[in-house]
Amino acid sequence: LLEKTRKYLKDEILLIVSIGLCFLMVAIALGVGFSSALGAFVMGSLLAETIESEHIAEIVSPIKDLFGAIFFISVGMMVSPAVIAQNWPVILILALIVLVCPVIFATTGVVVTGGGLENGIHTGFSLAQLGEFGFILAGVGVSLGVMRDFIYPVIIAVSVLTTFTAPYMVRAATPFYAMLQRKLPPSWLAKIASMEHNPNLKSTAEKSEWKKVLQNYFLRLLVYGVILVAIAIGSRTYLEPFVYRVFPQWSEFVHDLVMALSTLVAMSPFIYGLSVSNGDAMNASVPKLLKEKESNIWPVTGLMLLRIFLGIGVVLGVISTYFNLAGWTLLLIAAASAAFFFFAKSTFKKYSAMEKHFFDNLNRKEEMQKRLRPVTSSIQDKLEGYDIHIETITLPQESTFAGKKIEDLHIRLETGANVVKIKRGSNSVLTPWGDDEVYPGDILIAVGTTAQIEALKAKVKASVVLDSGDDVRFNVQAVTLDENSYLTGQTLRTAKLRDYHCMVISKLRGDNFITNPKPDDKFLRGDVVWLAGEQESIDWLRR
């Protein structure tokens, strides 16, 4: 009881805290001029990175389902047949644009980057829908007055229409690809195939490093960009009225100077994080990219310059908010900002430690998973980006592999996969030898390509031999005995019901109900007997 009470209280506290944090972020978002949906989205993204994310998702799922149903009911009520009938040409044109443009542009992008025609077609057809989040964006646009009122039901109609067509588009990708294979000129197909296998394209390892760099790069831009915008809006909304109220004797120039300097001082650590600091991931990956290919210096330099220009743009944006700047002044400020960015690393050493602590907390969930699965995670990090991954396969109780040696299973020979670990309860066998045996319930940790892992799964699945009795109908049924019944005049001992895969649960004689009759109890005419077993045997015994 205490354990259940403790778990209940923990769930309730988690639920209250999660909802409270969401309301807090919604209030902050509304206070600085953003939508409530964005605030809730940001808080959900933060909660997803915590170690309690799965637990929180489980306990809030009923609320999510309730509000999801209410949301779509409200959306359905906003679909106006009159507006649709009045604007059906616009709705059809927009729906065609949504269906056609992703197919064209996504397919072209995948093909040009070497992903292949088939992957491109499936990617484009999968993106051919507007999505439910368009409802929220359209609502915000109408509420802010940047769109006319009639556009909202039109966007909802287009979104609903493309949502219904999305499964058919995904299904149509394969026949459309087959048609292109037949219709396109052989020279085009050869060119696309050469692009797919072009050795000048990035290697798998290089793609993996670029993925890490870009992921860290855009995460940094997103986090610090949101913080800088919030500081700018908060400065104009709260700090500026406070300064005017407390220091009314100051001149306009002094007020503007104090506001600009205060805003830039508050922003300076985050401008540094946006424009200068790289983080551990980029510091580790960029040297590998430069070593892999010398030409990577140009895109890396471009990304660094873009960050610096964004930081300079933030500085100029803050200053130009309070002062009218001449052209030479802008150049002077830009030069000073560039000098600040290049020499800021020695100034913000303490901030770098704070930033590292922040991102460590952000990645705490992944780090905890690594500690819980040290072998799997460490090997997975080394194999990331290649078509080699780790899979855990549980050996079924009915498998014929049980009790056999690894070398007798010919796993590597027949599938190409390698078993690197056998987990058996609290014990583990690392890098098992050929004479190590496997047993029912063992967890095999295998390494291989996708095809090799699938072949191993199929081999394990094929090793399961099910008893033919698994498909036999099983039933519990009451049978009234007559003079011709098999059980009439016999005892449980002499009837040998086990041979018929049946057993007697209970019997009723008059008003006397007997559960689990004794082996020497005799069955008489008129007894009601409850039989459990195969339906065919029960039907035979009741005759």
- Looking at the chain, the whole-number percentage of residues with pLDDT higher than 90 is 1
Give the pLDDT score at 52: 74
Average pLDDT over residues 18-45: 80
**Which two tokens mark 45?**
């993204």
Give the pLDDT score at 353: 59
Residues counted in the chain: 543
Residue with tokens 């988690």: 14
**Which two tokens mark 213?**
């760099």
Report the chain's C-alpha Rg in angstroms: 35
> Would the pLDDT of 339 be above 80?
no
**pTM score of the predicted model:** 0.44
| Rounded CA separation 60/40 (Å) | 14
Which among 414, 390, 413, 399 is positioned nearest to 460, based on CA atoms? 399
Q: Which of the residue ranges 70-74, 205-209, 347-351, 536-540 would you say has the lowest mean pLDDT? A: 347-351
HEC letters along 431-469: CCCCCCECCCCCEEEEEECHHHHHHHHHHHHHCECCCHH
Q: Which of 222-231, 278-287, 289-298 has the highest mean predicted lDDT (pLDDT)?
A: 222-231
Which among 74, 71, 91 is positioned nearest to 150, based on CA atoms? 91
**Which two tokens mark 74?**
């409200």
Give the pLDDT score at 390: 79
| Rounded CA separation 449/389 (Å) | 6
| Rounded CA separation 398/5 (Å) | 39
Which among 359, 208, 333 is positioned nearest to 277, based on CA atoms? 359
At residue 469 the predicted structure's pLDDT band, cuts being 50, 70 and 90, is very low
3-state secondary structure of 155: helix
> Would the pLDDT of 172 be above 80?
yes
Give the pLDDT score at 326: 64
Over the stretch 208-245, which tens digit does the pLDDT of each residue have? 677 778 888 888 888 888 888 888 888 888 888 888 88
First to last CA, the chain: 52
| Rounded CA separation 191/111 (Å) | 10
| Rounded CA separation 110/118 (Å) | 9
| Rounded CA separation 225/228 (Å) | 5
Residue with tokens 């997975």: 380
Q: Which of the residue ranges 48-52, 246-250, 386-390 would you say has the lowest mean pLDDT? A: 386-390
Question: Which residues fall within 8 angstroms of residue 169, CB to CB, at 6 or more apart?
Answer: 99, 125, 126, 128, 129
Question: Which residues fall within 8 angstroms of residue 197, CB to CB, at 6 or more apart?
Answer: 114
